[in-house]
Amino acid sequence: MPRIPAPTEPLIDERVVVRLSAERDIPEILIAYQDDSELHERLGEQRPPSGAELGRREERAAAERAAGTRLTLTVAEPGSDVCRGQVYVRDVDWDNDRAELGIWLAPQARGRGMAAPALRMAAEWLLATTELERVQVTATADNEPMIRAARAAGFVEEGVLRGYLRVGGQRADATILSVLPADLEG
Beta bridge partners of 139: 175
* Cα separations in angstroms, 120 against 5, 10, 25, 179: 17, 14, 22, 9
Of 108, 117, 111, nearest to 28 (Cα)? 108
186 by Cβ neighbours in 10 Å (0-12 / 13-18 / 19+) ranks as exposed
Cβ atoms of residues 124 and 143 within 8 Å: no
pLDDT at 121 over 70: yes
Q: What is the mean pLDDT of the chain?
A: 94
Cβ atoms of residues 73 and 89 within 8 Å: yes
Greater confidence (165 vs 104) lies with 104
Structural domain boundaries of the chain?
11-132
Greater confidence (90 vs 46) lies with 90
Sequence-ordered list of residues with C-beta below 8 angstroms from that of 167, at least 6 positions apart, any chain: 41, 42, 44, 140
102-130 b/e with 16+ CB inside 10 Å = b? bbbbbeebbeeebbbbbbbbbbbbbbeeb
For domain 11-132, the CATH superfamily is Gcn5-related N-acetyltransferase (GNAT) (3.40.630.30)
pLDDT at 166 over 90: no
Question: 43 falls in which pLDDT band (50, 70, 90)?
Answer: confident
- Given CA atoms 161, 179, 146, 34 in this order, what sign does their dihedral have? positive
- At residue 170, the pLDDT reads 86
